[in-house]
């Protein structure tokens, strides 16, 4: 009997520990380390080799300008020449320079048409400098564009799937310049929470202090925790951050209900609760049809045609759910079970949730997109 009790207690402790681990998230997935961030790059270039789907030069004169500049830089004199190619397109090239990127490494780039080109399929991006916000060049992009769509056109119809005017070039840009940032000189670093919350910030502070056995971190506010690297006494700041970022904490989230009215999508957080409430729901349809009648005069007689209006109006009301009770929900599964008991469509459920929120029975932040 004692062995059975001990086994039951051990199993319960194991399940509780597994649940705690399952709900724990790594610190690196909850925060951004101050200074460890990427930088946005943008460039203006030319895609060539298109199969007649490029820019119309008359509609996009900037395409002719950049093409002329590229040819002149290559030693081709086109002064006074008239050319109307349909296999080129002016594009914007965008990318993100990851933190600590070194010269010679490659990054992915996105290419997007800015003229009236109908497709970038099969095109090749010509060498394009990519600038940061301060105007400095940090990378150069070039390569074959992989477009994410297809277009088929005939004399009387056209079918477009996806977005063929935008594409990517994997590893399409080479880093030419590094961002000056000496990480080894840091004595402290701030951890910025992606979702500010006082409880989560305090748990991160406690987890870091437990790891080192002394106070090396301090919560400043709901969105910031300061980690004292010098007090950690590690080999380097990189080693200290490497130890901290994989520590796990259980984040505290706000209760939220997010709905998308366009698609009828409803997303609820685990913390959502509903108080005991009664709901009645039904659908009301207004139908108006216009069927005008045209009265013509007799042949070879004087007179004119008269349009007699004919309107058919009706109000139809579907049978509703009656007055249904939703009991107190102490867990997400109970809340879902109570709402599903109404047996309504997702779009009707959005209206019901709005009404429950207005009645003060929905204890969560209601977000409509």
Task: Give the model's pLDDT for residue 134.
Answer: 87
Task: Give the model's pLDDT for residue 220.
Answer: 92
Cβ(86)–Cβ(118) below 8 Å: no
Q: Residue 169 burial by CB count (10 A; 0-12/13-18/19+): exposed, middle or buried?
A: buried
Task: Give the model's pLDDT for residue 233.
Answer: 86
Task: Give the model's pLDDT for residue 14.
Answer: 44
Predicted TM-score (pTM) of this structure: 0.64
d(CA 346, CA 352): 10
**Beta-carbon contacts of residue 215 (< 8 Å; ≥ 6 apart):** 209, 231
For the chain, 369 residues long, give each residue's pLDDT as a single digit of tens.
444 443 444 444 443 344 444 478 999 999 988 877 888 999 998 898 888 887 776 666 767 777 777 777 777 766 656 666 778 888 999 999 988 888 999 999 999 988 888 888 889 999 999 999 888 899 999 999 988 766 666 655 666 667 788 889 999 999 998 888 778 888 889 999 998 999 999 999 999 999 999 999 999 999 999 999 888 888 888 888 888 989 999 998 888 888 887 777 888 877 888 888 777 766 655 566 667 777 777 776 676 777 777 767 665 655 655 556 667 766 767 777 777 777 777 777 888 888 888 888 888 888 887
Pick from 348, 336, 340, 215: which is nearest to 274 by CA?
Answer: 336
Q: Any idea which residue has 């080799």 for tokens?
A: 49
Cβ(116)–Cβ(130) below 8 Å: no
The DSSP bridge partners found for residue 206 are none
Locate the domains of the chain by residue range. 39-175, 182-249, 256-368
Cβ(89)–Cβ(124) below 8 Å: no
What length is written for the chain? 369
d(CA 336, CA 268): 9
Pick from 186, 222, 255: which is nearest to 30 by CA?
Answer: 222
- If one counts every other C-beta atom within 10 angstroms of the C-beta of residue 54, the result is 27
- Ordered DSSP codes for 82-150: ----SSEEEEEEEEEE-TT--TT-EEEEEEEE-SS-S--TT-EEEEEEEE-TTS-EEEEEEEE-EEEEE
The DSSP bridge partners found for residue 225 are 191, 219
Task: Give the model's pLDDT for residue 219.
Answer: 93
Cβ(342)–Cβ(282) below 8 Å: no
- If one counts every other C-beta atom within 10 angstroms of the C-beta of residue 268, the result is 18
């Amino acid at each position: 009997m004692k062995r059975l009790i001990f086994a039951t207690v051990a199993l319960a402790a194991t399940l509780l520990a597994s649940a705690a681990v399952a709900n724990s998230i790594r610190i690196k997935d909850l925060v951004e380390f101050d200074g460890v961030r990427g930088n946005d790059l943008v460039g203006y270039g030319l895609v060539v080799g298109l199969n007649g789907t490029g820019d119309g030069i008359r509609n996009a004169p900037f395409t002719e300008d950049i093409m002329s500049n590229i040819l002149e830089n290559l030693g081709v004199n086109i002064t006074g020449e008239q050319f109307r190619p349909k296999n080129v397109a002016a594009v914007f090239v965008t990318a993100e320079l990851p933190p600590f990127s070194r010269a010679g490494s490659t990054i992915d780039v996105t290419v997007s048409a800015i003229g009236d080109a109908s497709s970038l399929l099969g095109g090749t991006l010509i060498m394009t400098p990519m600038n940061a916000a301060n105007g400095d060049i940090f990378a150069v992009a070039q390569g074959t564009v992989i477009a994410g769509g297809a277009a088929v056109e005939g004399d009387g119809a056209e079918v477009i799937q996806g977005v063929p005017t935008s594409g990517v070039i994997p590893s399409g840009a080479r880093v030419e310049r590094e961002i000056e940032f000496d990480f080894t000189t840091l004595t402290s670093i701030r951890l910025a929470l992606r979702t500010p919350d006082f409880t989560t910030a305090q748990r991160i502070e406690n987890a870091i202090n437990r790891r080192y056995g002394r106070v090396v971190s301090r919560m400043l506010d709901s969105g910031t925790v300061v980690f004292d690297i010098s007090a950690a006494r590690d080999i380097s700041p990189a080693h200290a951050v490497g130890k901290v970022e994989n520590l796990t904490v259980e984040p505290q989230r706000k209760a939220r209900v997010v709905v998308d009215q366009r698609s009828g999508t409803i997303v609820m957080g685990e913390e959502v609760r509903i108080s005991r409430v009664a709901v009645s729901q039904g659908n009301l349809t207004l139908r108006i049809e216009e069927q005008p009648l045209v009265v013509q005069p007799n042949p070879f007689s004087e007179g004119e045609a008269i349009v007699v209006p004919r309107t058919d109006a009706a109000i139809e009301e579907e049978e509703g759910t009656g007055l249904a009770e939703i009991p107190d929900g102490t867990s997400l599964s109970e809340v879902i079970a109570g709402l599903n008991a109404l047996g309504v469509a997702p779009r009707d459920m959005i209206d019901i949730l709005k009404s429950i929120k207005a009645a003060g029975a929905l204890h969560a932040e209601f977000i409509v997109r």
